[in-house]
Amino acid sequence: MFGAGGDSPALAQGAEASAAEPPKVRITKKDCKRIIRHQPSADVAYKPGVDVRGNPVAAADVNGGFTVPLPDVFEFNITKDLTAYLDGPEEQLAADKAAAIAAERSVAATNAAVSSAETAVTEAQAVYDDAVTAAEAAAAASEAAPNDTDLAAAATSAQAEADAAAAGLATTRTAYSSTQAAATSDDVTGALAGAQSAKAAAEATAAAAGLDADAVSAATSDTSAALTEAAQAATDSAAADTAALQAMETVSKSADMTLNVGTVRYNINTGAMTFNGKPLNDASEAELAEKCRSMMEAK
C-alpha cells in the first residue's frame, strides 16, 4: 500500500524506463506468412516472344499450331468374338499341324528326288567308265595288229560308244543340277521332273554305250528304285498340301466372326452415355465414361 500523497521510488524508476524504450510487438512465423507474399522479379516472369535474355524468339505455336477437331459424341460398338464357340482354336491347331506335315512331306519329296538324280549320275558314270575302258582295250588291240581291219573297226566303234556315253553322262549331270535347284526352291514337282530326266539320261547313256535293253535296265536298277520312292514322296507331299489347304479353308470360315452386342454413345460435353439408345445406370456409366476418357487421353 502506498501513501496517497507520495510515489514509490521503484515505481518511479519503472515509469522512467518505460518512457525511454519503445514498445515491442511479438510476431510469429504464421503471422509472417499471412503478411508477406512472394513478389517475383520482373525478369523471372514468362514473356512470350523473348528468351531469358530478352532476345526475340519464334512462338511455340507457329502458324497457330495444329489441333485435331473432336466430335461432341463418340460412338463405338461392343462386340463378342464367336471363334471360341465355333471350335476355332481346335480348327486352328489342326490347320497348324496340317501345315507342318505338308512342309515335312515337301522336304522328304525333294530330298528323294535329289537322291534319285544322284543315283542316276552314279550309274551313268559307271557306264561311261566301262565304255572308256572298253575303248582303250579295243584301241590297244587295233594298234597291236595294224593290218586287222576288224580290230580297227571295233576300236572305232568302241571309241564312238565312249564318246556317246560321255555326252549322256553330261546330260545326266545337268538333270541332277536342275533337280537340286528345284529342291532348293521347295519345288516338289520340278524336283521330281528333274529326277525323271536324270533317269532317262542315265538309260540313254547305257544304251549309247552299246548295252542291250536288259543290260540298260540292270545298269540303272538303283535309279529306277530311287525314282519310284521319289514319285511316292511327291504324291504324299501333294496330298499333304491338299489337306493343309482344306484345314486353312475351315479356319477361314469361322475367322472374324463376331457378334455385335450393342452400340455405346458418349457425349463428351454432357457426359451422358447410352447403350442401344437407353441410358446406362450410374455405375455402368461411370465405368464406361472413365474408359472413354482414358482412350481420348491416350490419343
Quick count: other Cβ atoms within 10 Å of Cβ 114?
A: 22
The number of angstroms, rounded, from the C-alpha of 252 to the middle of its chain's C-alpha atoms is 20
* pLDDT (tens digit per residue) in 201-252: 999 999 999 999 999 999 999 999 999 999 999 999 999 999 998 888 877 7
pLDDT surpassing 50 at residue 3: no
d(CA 40, CA 42): 6
pLDDT at 138 over 90: yes
Q: Are residues 220 and 123 in contact, defined by beta-carbon separation less than 8 angstroms?
A: yes
Task: State the sign of the Cα–Cα–Cα–Cα dihedral 7, 12, 14, 20.
Answer: positive
- Beta pairing class for 273-275 and 278-279: antiparallel
Sorted by where each starts, the structural domains of the chain and their CATH numbers stand as 73-86+259-298 (no CATH), 88-254 (1.20.1260)
pLDDT band, residue 1 (cuts 50/70/90): very low
pTM to 2 decimal places: 0.58
Distance CA 187, CA 196 (A): 14
With beta carbons less than 8 A apart as the criterion, state whether 191 and 114 touch. yes
More confident residue, 68 or 179: 179
What pLDDT does 76 receive? Answer: 80
pLDDT of residue 137: 95
Whether 108 and 236 have beta carbons less than 8 Å apart is answered as yes
Average pLDDT over residues 156-164: 95
Q: Sign of torsion, CA 99 100 101 104?
A: positive
Averaged pLDDT for residues 23-37: 52
Q: Is the pLDDT at 37 greater than 60, yes or no?
A: no
Give the confidence band of 296 by pLDDT, cuts at 50, 70, 90: low
> Which pLDDT does position 35 carry in this prediction?
47
- Quick count: other Cβ atoms within 10 Å of Cβ 40? 7
Non-local CB neighbours of 202 within 8 Å, separated by 6+ positions? 120, 121, 123, 124, 127, 168, 172, 219, 220, 223
Question: How many other CB atoms are found less than 10 A from the CB of residue 266?
Answer: 23
Q: Which helix (H) or strand (E) holds 39?
A: none
Percent of the chain that is helix, strand, coil (3-state, to 5): 65, 10, 25
- 295 pLDDT above the threshold of 70: no
Maximum CA extent, the chain: 188
153-184 CB burial, b ≥16 within 10 A, e <16 = ebbeebbebbebbbebbebbbebbebbbebbe
